[in-house]
Amino acid sequence: MSVCILAIESSCDETSASVCRDGVILSNVIATQSVHESFGGVVPELASRAHMQNIVPVVDEALKQAGVELKELNAIAFTQAPGLIGSLLVGAQFAKSLSLALNIPLIAVHHMQAHVIANLIPEEKPSFPFLCLTVSGGHTQIVLCESATQMKVLGETIDDAAGEAFDKTAKLLGLPYPGGPLIDKYAQLGNPDRFKFPEPQIPDLNFSFSGLKTSILYFLRNAGTSLVYKEEFLKTEEEQKQFIAENLNDICASVQQRIVSILLNKLKKASQQTGVKQICLAGGVSANSGLRKAFTEMGQRHHWKTFIPAFEYCTDNAGMIAMTGYYKYLANDFVSLSVSPGARATF
């Protein structure tokens, strides 16, 4: 029997719906919420309201693009956790209502597991076990994926996520939110070896980006003369702005190079420790051109087989929820209508 799943993703500021038949994604519709841009970050209340406005048209469009009718669906999958609770509630309530109305099973999906599973969407898939570096605005994790439904977090950030490190740096540079793609753009024009930012000495496979953020803050306040706080190093606002304007490309390239080296050094360590050489990227930051290039080069040096999902499956999307839902369907892993979304969740 063929398995047709409708999936809904609403954990943060993208409202997305996808239809998947037998593990093949037929549609992946994403409505991005531009309402947050002027606030310099996602405003939870505005995100929930936008999800409520978007969800019906987004689901309709996903069904239409897939050429699938409601009566053909075998299950509804939705993002249960983690995320903004108000945003998750909109998707969860919608999914539950549809599952009840159509009398078909409901599948709860962990958002971070789904980012990993995005690597199983293309025809050429990694074989198990594989490692995945998931880098997004809210998370930074190295995951050992033993099967489509069995995963273990080997390391994660103890403070900021990699995407936050990009976005907070962009904010310090006076760039709009989300600043990650802009840092990437300017970095391509700059010299990554011009400024040296510190690499945190964190044991095991965990990450930390808060020290880097502090050193960038003082580096800018000191107009590039030092990475530490001392009153006599501080420059006037005018001097700081001029320094940024004259060195923007080199600053972006140097910061990006450091974030990428922090990520990849841990990934290399994870591969050495586990002996796993099938290695994937996932999450919004995997769109970063510097990371993609360095990841591919590192893969060639260490004889890894590397995988990066297509861009639309790197950032938040329901395609990855549908694919995870498909594997959960095969494993008979369903939830009852009493399920609640969760802002935080480990796996």
- Closest by CA to 63, choosing from 7, 19, 106, 104, is 19
Element (H, E) at 26: strand 24-32
284 near ligand KG4, judged by CB under 6 A = yes
Per-residue 3-state assignment (H helix, E strand, C coil) for 234-262: CCCHHHHHHHHHHHHHHHHHHHHHHHHHH
**Please, what is the angle between helix 180-187 and helix 162-172, to 10°?**
70
Task: Fill in the per-residue mask, 306 to 335: x = in contact with Zn ion (CB under 5 A), - = not in contact.
Answer: ----------x-------------------
| 163 in contact with ligand KG4 (CB under 6 A) | yes
Q: Within a 10 A sphere around the Cβ of 232, how many other Cβ atoms?
A: 6
Binding flags for ligand KG4, 304-323, as an x/- string (CB under 6 A): -----------xx-------
**Residue 12 is a binding residue for ligand KG4 (CB under 6 A):** yes
**CB 174 within 8 Å of CB 244:** yes
15, 99, 113, 136: which one contacts ligand KG4 (CB under 6 A)? Answer: 136
Q: Does 10 bind Zn ion (CB under 5 A)?
A: no
Whether the CB-CB separation of 313 and 319 falls below 8 Å is answered with yes
Q: Determine the Cα–Cα distance for residues 222 and 239; give it in Å rounded to an integer.
A: 9
**63 interacts with, out of Zn ion, ligand KG4, none, CB within 5 to 8 A per kind:** none
From the list 262, 334, 331, the residue with the least C-alpha distance to 106 is 334
Total of chain residues touching ligand KG4, rule CB under 6 A: 19
Taking CB under 5 A as the rule, which mask of x and - marks residues 107-146 in contact with Zn ion?
-----------------------------x----------
- Residues in 165-184 that interact with ligand KG4 by CB under 6 A: 166-167, 178, 180-181, 183-184
Which positions touch ligand KG4 (CB under 6 A)?
12, 136-138, 163, 166-167, 178, 180-181, 183-184, 283-285, 287-288, 315-316
Which positions touch Zn ion (CB under 5 A)?
136, 316
